[in-house]
Amino acid sequence: MSNRLMQLMRGTGPALLMEAHDPLSALLAADAGFPAVWASSLSMSTAWGVRDSSELPWNLVMTVLEYMADRVEVPILVDGDSGHGNFNNFRIFCRKLEQLGIEGVCIEDKLFPKTNSFRKEGQPLTPIAEMCGKIRAAKDHLRDGAGFAIVARTEALVSGHPMDEALARARAYAEAGADAILIHSKSRTPGEIFAFCEQWKQGTPLVIVPTTYHSVRVEDFIHTPVKAMICANQNLRASITGMRTVCATINRTHTVGEVEDKIATVSSIFSMLDYAELEKSEALYL
Ligand code: SPV
Ligand code: MG
């Protein structure tokens, strides 16, 4: 099967992937024209009111993803955290994703339970050999290894290790069969990402997440090995701001009239989810 995430990452310019945390946000990202969505662990956890610390049970993650995959045509790259356990848990997770028609997963070299990258300094990393074993196990266990992209993410720079460690890890993961490498950084500026790009000669595409060095544009990476840039949490953060504003306004003014022209109409919800199709079908079948 051809893999659309891989096709995107073999393209010329970096593709922009938009965060989704539920089927609605995935639908909105796809409607806006993003070629793929990032099912973020931070955002899915937050949407369920739990912390991004492996607190969201993976069967619940699966349910969210099942409905997400059902709603959108664009491919989904799933944030697979540290693989939900060891190589065995990770390969089972990947196989389930494959069954849902999901086209890729990202696994990071952190321990289980994981903690969000922006919490705690110097988080311990998975030994390189163990991480490579997880990548190989998943590839071997998939029904169609070529149809499912495995993005291996190194947290070396985030955890305070030198550039050489990040490069050594990324090279090992690429050799183990990763289809792309996510090089993560929590620096406020993109310097270390550009430095990594300079030294990356492997040919495996790179993926970045500019949450902290957010002034960059996708075009800044055209002449680098970066082939995908993930907007990791902006939909979730926008929804928090939007809902807070609406709650505060209604609570203060004691009327819903104050927000009426600032929020989506009910009829736009009906058209987004194609209620008309159901009515046509009812006429045919009911
Ligand atoms: C996520 O979106 O959950 C990520 C990216 O893993 S980050 O929060 O930057 O670690
Ligand atoms: Mg995450």
Annotated catalytic residues are 52
Atom 7 (ligand 1) nearest CA: 117
Q: What is the structure's pLDDT at 89? A: 97
Spatial distance between the Cα atoms of 61 and 92, rounded to a whole number of angstroms: 14
Atom of ligand 1 minimally distant from the CA of 211: 9
User: Which strand (E) or helix (H) includes residue 87?
Assistant: helix 87-99
| pLDDT for position 13 | 85
The rounded distance, in Å, linking the Cα atoms of 144 and 187 is 37
Give the count of alpha carbons within 13 A of 110, CB side only: 28
Reported as half-sphere exposure (CB side, CA atoms, 13 A), residue 58 has a value of 18
Is the CB of 41 inside a 6 Å radius of any atom of ligand 1?
A: yes
C-beta 45 within 6 A of ligand 1 = no
Q: Whose CA is nearest to atom 2 of ligand 1?
A: 40
Number of C-alpha atoms within 13 angstroms, CB side, residue 188? 0
In short, whether 228's Cβ falls inside 6 Å of ligand 1 is: no
Tens-binned pLDDT, residue by residue, of the chain (286 aa): 579 999 999 988 899 999 999 999 999 999 999 999 999 999 999 999 999 999 999 899 999 999 999 999 999 999 999 999 999 999 999 999 999 999 999 999 999 999 899 998 899 999 999 999 999 999 999 998 888 999 999 999 999 999 999 999 999 999 999 999 999 999 999 999 999 999 999 999 999 999 999 999 999 999 999 999 999 999 999 999 999 999 999 999 999 999 999 999 999 999 999 999 999 999 999 9
Instruction: Say if pTM beats, i.e. exceeds, 0.95.
Output: yes
Task: Tell me whether the omega of the peptide bond preceding residue 113 falls within 30 degrees of 0, making it cis.
Answer: yes
To test the ligand 1 pocket, which listed residue (19, 41, 110, 158) has its Cβ within 8 A of the most ligand atoms? 41
Contacts of 38 (CB under 8 A, 6+ apart): 17, 18, 19, 20, 76, 77, 79, 230, 231, 232
Ligand 1 centre to CA of 164 (Å) is 23
Q: How far is the CA of 181 from the centre of ligand 2 (A)?
A: 15
User: What is the best residue among 22, 233, 234 to mutate for testing ligand 1's pocket, by most ligand atoms within 8 Å of CB?
Assistant: 233
The span from the CA of 95 to the CA of 144, in Å, is 9
Rounded distance, CA 119 to CA 70, Å?
A: 33
Give the distance (Å) from ligand 2 centre to CA of residue 136: 21
Please give the number of the atom of ligand 1 that sits closest to the Cα of 52. Answer: 3
Please say whether the beta carbons of 165 and 125 come within 8 A.
no
